[in-house]
Structure 1
């Protein structure tokens, strides 16, 4: 058997330029399969860890995934807002235990700003219903107090008492900073491994205060409201981006969703987290199917290369037959070559997946707050690697059977 492996290796090496294309193709398909599985696993884990203990997310009329991505992960663009009166009506619903409003849209040096209430630090949970903790300081009390996520404080080198200036929107337009109303850091949250780490938290009153003299995203010329005059104005928010809702009983989720959908003042979709997971699962399956199709194309190319190469290898195979190799050994030889190509491609694909995840993982976490980390392959990834090798063996049966059927006379006296 070892002799066959040696012959197969030397034969494959002799045809290395043609087979290298197949190896790259198998490596690419393996890379896609493993990368999709790694991203799928880590994104789902990030999603499940990002928020827990919340039964509904209520926001303006938009897609469920878009609402979730922007509200929880701060990914995408701002949705429409919901009226503050609608939030108060939601709080009065008998099924509702608590409501945490969120106002988004501004930023500080690339980090999103979240306007909310002190209840956020009591009710927001992540992971296995873990509550937020303060590494330093306390929740905001004053209008211009700010609480930083751990990543914001670490990346910008901020500590308690630091003064910071917020930017309107993403701060991409010059002159849209709220420089006349700086905030003071009064608290820094402990690291959570969620988008909370990348957020600057202020009060809803503070969010309203910095926009008193703004309209349509721009400051009103000559109408600036100084900091010491802010308290003279009504700082009750007019609208918010969304609201996290906790219920007295989870069995009331669907009945509350129905009441929210029938709310007369404005359309308010209520998105249950379970619904979002099922929506994402559709995308996961689509990605896996696409990767499997790429793998099938790769193995079709492997079969084509080996079968085409048989026409040039008839004399080689005939010589092997003449020195005592039977049809069964020829079959094993072709299968062995395919296994070598498949295993090499699978290994290269696995190494490429690990390298890309290691290189791009920190960027994805810094940019989107979603950690994709290299890890020892799990059961599903080992199953995918095994499936790639098994598919290679199955693909090798076609050229192997063709070589098995070749006669010695045909090999010694090729046509043409």
Structure 2
């Protein structure tokens, strides 16, 4: 304990150098834990985007591409699904429920999702959590819309507001369906998923706003809501179909049946397997981030080693005086070793505290701009292991200056060779 107090007092006397060393270690630890937390929570966020859905059906394509455009609203479908195929899939005895999804339009940078009321009944995220309404209710009228929490927040919408959907992803004046505005009847509670960044309308509404747009532009006469016969509105095609089964045992059989469907080329994927493939594609980037942050930690510890070695020559008289007062060479070794260990421990603590401070400040920004939920949860076992590795590395780094001081204290005595 006396040596530990002596090490602490020695660091106080060199507080400027010690503080810089602690800051260097703290920044490297914060970066290491920050990269690890972003990596794990990004994976959890992706995995929690959809749950309880056994199969996702789309036009023939790769399973990662189908997952990205149907669930994450990234990219576009290679083709659409004919409604007759949807009816055939729904007629399968193994199917318990299905949610049709129609994509392709947008509203001020947010994707528009055409669907049915089953979307709000059966769609699940996280640990099979159902969608809930912060305000309002599901769409009932033809030109009702339900918007995600982020859409409402960023665009300042409330119940009863009117919005105009644009044809395609580029929301330009010439592409807007401004003759058929929608009314906000519901605002969903935040989910931390792409649902927050989506505008939901009914499938008949998608058909209604595209009357006269069959060639991709408005060529026919401009129609009004009064001119539309709701009974005649029937979707011919959709983008994707989410399917829930009565028993998961039937998943592989139905998947094979859909993939071998003869009337049109279809692909059925299991979301969990597709997510695993997506993360395996990104594993190289994950490892690269960890390697870079690891080298930053090594650089921080090397900076501490350099600082201790540089100050060692200036402290040889101090070591000699300690020897004259009865300190053994082993005491000198433990003193230098304790200083290195103390600097490392303080750097780790400061790095963790700084990480939580950054998470508290940056989490709302990251969630609103990138849809990634970064929680300030307690350190995981893996993060404790990383800190243990850093502390062990600090232990090893402290051995070199301590061993040198030990050897010098044996030879110097009271006579210091300059």
Q: Which TM class, normalised by the smaller chain length? A: 0.7 to 0.9
CA 1:4–1:125 in structure 2 vs 1: closer, same or farther (change >3 Å)? closer
For 1:181, what is the secondary structure of its paired residue?
Answer: coil
Partners in 2 of 1:55 and 1:13 — Cα distance? Answer: 65
CA 1:7–1:124 in structure 2 vs 1: closer, same or farther (change >3 Å)? closer
For 1:324, what is the secondary structure of its paired residue?
Answer: coil
Contact 1:60 1:80 survives alignment (8 Å): yes
CA 1:63–1:345 in structure 2 vs 1: closer, same or farther (change >3 Å)? farther
Partners in 2 of 1:60 and 1:405 — Cα distance? Answer: 74
1:330-377 residue CA offsets vs partner (Å, 9 max, x unmatched)? 211222221232123223322332222122211222223332232444
Q: Which residue of 2 aligns with 1:255?
A: 253
Q: Which residue of 2 aligns with 1:179?
A: 178
1:116 Cα shift?
A: 0.9
The count of aligned residue pairs is 413
Contact 2:359 2:374 survives alignment (8 Å): yes
Q: Which residue of 2 aligns with 1:203?
A: 202
- TM-score, reference length from structure 2: 0.82
Gaps of 5+ in 2: none
For 2:270, what is the secondary structure of its paired residue?
Answer: strand
Q: Which residue of 2 aligns with 1:327?
A: 329
Q: Which residue of 1 aligns with 2:115?
A: 116
Q: Which residue of 1 aligns with 2:163?
A: 164
For 2:96, what is the secondary structure of its paired residue?
Answer: strand
Partners in 1 of 2:12 and 2:60 — Cα distance? Answer: 60
Is 1:99 the counterpart of 2:98 in the alignment? yes
Partners in 2 of 1:382 and 1:336 — Cα distance? Answer: 21
Q: Which residue of 2 aligns with 1:246?
A: 244
Partners in 2 of 1:15 and 1:358 — Cα distance? Answer: 29
1:237-264 residue CA offsets vs partner (Å, 9 max, x unmatched)? 4543322121222123333334444445
Gaps of 5+ in 1: none
1:35-65 residue CA offsets vs partner (Å, 9 max, x unmatched)? 2343345434434543221112233455655
1:218-229 aligned at under 5 Å gives the runs: 219-221=217-219, 223-229=221-227
Contact 1:260 1:270 survives alignment (8 Å): no
Q: Which residue of 2 aligns with 1:80?
A: 78
Contact 1:195 1:370 survives alignment (8 Å): no
1:142-161 aligned at under 5 Å gives the runs: 142-153=141-152, 156-161=155-160
Q: Which residue of 2 aligns with 1:317?
A: 319
Q: Which residue of 1 aligns with 2:34?
A: 35
CA 1:153–1:7 in structure 2 vs 1: closer, same or farther (change >3 Å)? closer
Partners in 2 of 1:254 and 1:68 — Cα distance? Answer: 18
